[in-house]
Structure 1
């Protein structure tokens, strides 16, 4: 304990409070966020123990902002009323968070405030995580990397820093560096769930599917305390490795039933987070012509998605719901969801509107794709589409890639074989170990009457028999 009424959080920074329980709840919140725990609501206990603590109220406001905005406003007002008596550290966090959760926030301003905060308080890994999440939803991996590199020297031995380094590296295509960072994180803490996830990303991208599955299944006992998102997302990666590695589809079915949707049996499960991963998997199965075993599951899920409480929480989820609703012929619901997305964008400031126009065009294309209007969907996406340009919907490259697969399918379905061949051959310059892409290339060659179709088929056959025997 320092001067009267001042305690230190786990980073060693001063917090104005008399309450040991308040600072304990704050520290517990740090750990829950950084390891994607399901008890992040622990932060709501901090202002109960000390209603005048600025840090407690600010972090409670941040936690509540996405689901209970009125409560968040109350917390932020309480923090503001005690701002003058708080420490410099608390003031910096209040400034950054209040900008971040304001209704008319400017993302660039919020990001710069986090850069400033971390320059003064580089050991605050929660603020680093918060800033990286902001970068993720801005679709900006470069500043995310800059942020972690800015504070890396002060945190070399910290448990979470290297996993936080790994993710922007892999999003920037620096897979060797990303793998090295993830493995260093796991040397410090083998149960670092985010680092496990990052290493899986690398293994999956490099088409090391059996290695990725074995690694993740060995890690899976450490996921029991994870949030619904992280638990089901890690299993989504496992299912994708089975799918991309041409494992029997029943293995994918088993993961879907027992490791993704089973999460909903838990009393504290978060439905939208589960549905996001379930839908992302179902769409890939649909594209691959493997949806037949899952038809009843998709039908049941589409029924649940008519619940408007699920809408407009995440752009990526909204897009996947549009596909599910249209493909199950729930067109009125899908139309309402799409028009609602457009309306929300129309109310944004000019800068944000321009940025999110990509999200709107992708939503329109997915809507038409789900209805079977391939020509119109392709027209909306264009002939130079690249899903990685759509990071603003809040999705990783791996999550976005399903929309590339939609595009490939649209090209084939509309007779654009030359374009399919061009883009997939270019894709193989960096990633040529996915059997499904070789099958698409084979179709393109066959449509053009080119003898290279035999080579593509042979390559697909070889890969399909090589991964999971």
Structure 2
């Protein structure tokens, strides 16, 4: 038998094969049918690939318990690996490496495997995911391009490539790839996402609002991450235009509440709440509900990019669990894992700075978060997501009266948000304080509401 992209699979049951295709297509399209592989794996314990993909589904939980939840499936797959194709056996090994936390080996072996099987689009997507979490944008692009020319007719290939281009700051190529994906499949949410990144970076705010509002109805049946994350992007455009009611509505209806226990939904909510506050939006008691769910994670240090935002959410809500998580970060920074340097030299000072900001210790925030910012990409996340940390540091600069530094940062920010309400409002305040009233008036005049 073969999967939907023509890769040979060792499978004798049509229902299992359908579960495998549901995982592959659901993974690429961000639809909920990807989890159908769990039922297929339980129903057919003799199918190695079904067990492997079920193990992967649990690893995407991005939580300390994920390897434990995946273990039974990986163990079953390993017992069957001698009876399947070389590609399937290699996928078993990659899943084991993931569960063991050996991401460098996974990426090295995985890219070699993808070059031998360029139609294995789920593998290529998996490699992009891990490169993204390490902040390696060129590797994201290189990996996506492996699928060409064999899979040029597949929309999700171009969506993956578009995001790789965007993270490499190759915005024209990113937009072309995203539009090529949408020409094949207009509802491709990852292509929507890549184009939203381009428009945000280029300050195309009104165009971004119109585009995302037009395609938003196609996100209804997506998994919680993709639905909430694309709405998160739309909310950023609303923030630029000072549409505070629309931002709150987007948060309450689409960004928070779909899957409150999921990592990506939690950090998306934390990031948006923080940005809302920094832009002068009243968020009411929303931090409390978010922190209740983040606290249930315990001392989660699975990924630095996620942990930093868990910590900020806990601290902003005044939760004692913030101190326990900070202690876990300190311990992780003294570990021996492949990413120990990132934890020690980037995540640790960043967490100290974020905790300080949440507790109004702005001097410490300037010093600690400022130390981490130049290397923040190594913690993972996209440019747009990591911009949160730049904004928090900027706020600390202004809170401590470092107006000269704040002016420099704000004018650079205006280059990609030229008539943004918040950035120009902040500039106007800085210019008044430093005695440049004419520039303050110009900044006020640039603010574009609506």
Q: Which runs of 5+ in 2 are unaligned?
A: none
Residues of 2 paired with 1:24 and 1:15: CA distance?
A: 12
Task: From the superposition, tell whether residues 303 and 71 of structure 1 become closer, same or farther in structure 2 (CA, over 3 Å).
Answer: closer
Aligned length: 445
Q: Quick check: 1:233 aligned with 2:222?
A: no
Among 344, 351, 354, the residue aligned to 2:341: 354
- After superposition, residues 159-174 of structure 1 pair within 5 angstroms as 159-174=155-170
| Partner SS state of residue 415, structure 1 | coil
Q: Distance in 2 between matches of 1:8 and 1:111?
A: 24
CA contact (8 A) 2:356 2:364 kept: yes
CA drift at 1:366: 0.4
The alignment status of 1:250 with 2:227, answered yes or no, reads: no
Counterpart for residue 395 of structure 2: 409
Alignment of 1:184-223 (within 5 A): 184-223=180-219
Cα distance in 2 between the residues matched to 1:422 and 1:297: 32
Partner of 2:318: 329
Report what 1:318 is aligned to.
Answer: 307
Mapped partners of 1:303, 1:150: distance in 2: 42
Pairing 1:282–2:283 present? no
- CA offset digits 1:146-193 (Å, max 9, x no partner): 111222211111120110001111111111111111111000001111
- Does the Cα contact within 8 Å between 2:354 and 2:369 map onto a contact in 1? no
Unmatched 5+ stretches in structure 1: 1-6
Q: Distance in 2 between matches of 1:25 and 1:447?
A: 62
For residue 6 of structure 2, give the secondary structure of its aligned residue in structure 1: coil
Give, in angstroms, the shift of residue 197 of structure 1: 1.2
Secondary structure of 1:155's aligned partner:
coil
What secondary structure is seen at the aligned counterpart in 1 of 2:448?
helix
Partner secondary structure for residue 211 of structure 1: helix
Paired position in structure 1 for 2:98? 100
**Alignment-derived partner of residue 461 in structure 1:** 445
> 1:391 aligned to 2:377?
yes
Task: Measure how far apart 1:27 and its partner are.
Answer: 0.7
1:128 correspondence with 2:124: yes
Once residues 119 and 289 of structure 2 are traced to their aligned partners in structure 1, the CA distance between those partners, rounded to angstroms, is: 46
Which deviates more from structure 2 when the two are superposed, residues 219-228 or residues 364-373?
Answer: 219-228
1:9 to 3, 20, 39: 3
**2 CA distance for matches of 1:372 and 1:365?**
10
CA distance in 1, matches of 2:288, 2:42: 44
Tell me, in whole angstroms, the C-alpha distance in 1 between the residues paired with 2:313 and 2:8.
49
Cross-structure match for 1:3: none
- Measured in 2, the distance between the counterparts of 1:97 and 1:307 equals 26
Structure 1 residues 94 and 262, CA gap change in structure 2 (3 angstroms): closer
Structure 1 residues 53 and 204: CA distance shift in structure 2, 3 A: same
Q: Is the 8 A contact 2:133 2:380 kept in 1?
A: yes
Deviation by residue 1:186-231 (Cα, 9 ceiling, x = unmatched): 0000111111111111112222222212221221221122111111
Hey, what does 2:351 align to over in structure 1? Answer: 363
2:258 alignment partner, SS class: helix
Partner of 2:135: 139
Q: For residue 151 of structure 1, give the secondary structure of its aligned residue in structure 2.
A: coil
**Contact 2:240 2:417 (8 Å CA) reproduced:** no
CA change 1:98–1:307 in 2 (3 A) is closer
Change (3 A) 1:42 1:339: same
SS at match of 1:18: coil
TM (norm. structure 1) is 0.88
| CA deviation map 1:56-83 (0-9, x unaligned) | 2211111123454234222222222222
Deviation at 1:303, TM superposition (A): 3.9
Partner of 1:78: 76
Q: Is the 8 A contact 1:272 1:310 kept in 2?
A: no
Contact 1:21 1:49 (C-alpha < 8 Å) held by counterparts? no
TM-score normalised by length of structure 2: 0.92
1:377-388 correspondence to structure 2 within 5 Å:
377-382=365-370, 386=373
Equivalents in 2 of 1:318, 1:100: separation in Å? 19
Aligned in 2, Cα 1:457/1:198: closer, same or farther, shift over 3 Å? farther
- Which has the larger displacement, 319-328 or 141-150? 319-328
CA contact (8 A) 1:439 1:457 kept: no
Task: Report SS of the residue matched to 1:8.
Answer: coil
**Aligned match for 1:42, one of 36, 45, 52:** 36
Distance 2:284 2:416 in 1: 34
Deviates most, 67-76 or 218-227: 67-76
> Alpha carbons of 1:112 and 1:243: their partners in 2 closer, same or farther (altered >3 Å)?
same
Superposed CA RMSD: 2.2
Q: 1:34–1:129: 8 Å Cα contact kept in structure 2?
A: yes
